[in-house]
Structure 1
Amino acid sequence: MKECPHVPALPRPEPEPLNATCPECRALDSHPVQLRICLECGYVGCCDSSTYRHSTGHFEKTGHPVMRSFEPGEDWRWCYVDLLIV
């Protein structure tokens, strides 16, 4: 099974969220489907099921590899580099 080397390199504790929702969706008056938080910087963005896919855009701009679900009761993580749920 492939393992993700990016998770052990993440800051501890996790960063505080920079926003309560996706600021780009808010500016576009769009509704984010699900939110993700960047575990490197705390950016909060919408998922790929949302129209604008801002979390993926954040990864493409910054290279920050791991996002965590920012939905209540969920704590799974996604690594964009390794394409793994971690």
Structure 2
Amino acid sequence: MDQIDPTVPPSGTGCVECEASGAWWLHLRRCAACGHVGCCDSSPNQHATAHAHASGHRVVQSFEPGEGWFWDYVAGEFADGPELAAPTAHPAAQPVPGPAGRVPADWARHLH
């Protein structure tokens, strides 16, 4: 699939937009085309989906430790894909939700 570039590394260890704005996330997703790391649809800001819509990059991979699944936003289903460039997840010591110090005490009330 031309929507996946296995050579592109992730953009960082956290959601690009949340890091820039001081926000927090629940889980992370990595764009399989360009490496953009965004927050999942359960997160308050849903940046991974926003990136997919804005860029046309339809496939993401979970960026959570121990998860390797891909999701195709256009098909609305799980997809197959190759191993992506390392790292394939955020650091295991990074808390979920994260990042440390920015998650409100009532974080579960803010989920979608």
Band the TM-score falls in, shorter-chain normalisation: 0.7 to 0.9
Query: Match of 1:58?
Result: 51
The residue number in structure 2 matching 1:30 is 23
Q: Secondary structure at the match of 1:40?
A: coil
Q: Displacement, 1:14?
A: 4.2
TM-score (norm: length of structure 1): 0.84
Confirm or deny: 8 A CA contact 1:14 1:39 kept in the other structure. no
Q: Quick one: higher RCO (CA 8 Å, sep 6+), 1 or 2?
A: 2
Looking at structure 1, the residues matched to 13 and 76 of structure 2 have their Cα atoms a distance apart, in angstroms, of 26
Q: What 5-or-longer segments of structure 2 have no aligned partner?
A: 80-112
Residue 20 (str. 1) matches residue 7 (str. 2): no
What is the root-mean-square deviation of aligned Cα atoms in Å?
1.1
Q: What is the DSSP-based 3-state SS (H/G/I as helix, E as strand, rest coil) of the residue aligned with 2:61? A: strand
Question: Does the alignment pair 1:85 with 2:71?
Answer: no
Hey, what does 1:45 align to over in structure 2?
38
Q: Tell me the secondary structure at the aligned position of residue 64 of structure 1.
A: coil
* Contact residue 37 and residue 67 of structure 1 kept, 8 A: yes
**Structure 1 gaps, min length 5:** 1-7
- What CA distance in whole angstroms lies between the structure 2 residues aligned with 1:29 and 1:18? 17
Alpha carbons 2:58, 2:73 under 8 Å: kept: yes
Q: Scaled by the length of structure 2, what TM-score is found?
A: 0.65
Question: What is the distance in 1 between the residues matched to 2:35 and 2:17?
Answer: 15
Aligned partners of 2:28, 2:58: CA distance in 1, in Å? Answer: 16
Q: Where do residues 64-75 of structure 1 align in structure 2 (5 Å cutoff)?
A: 64-75=57-68
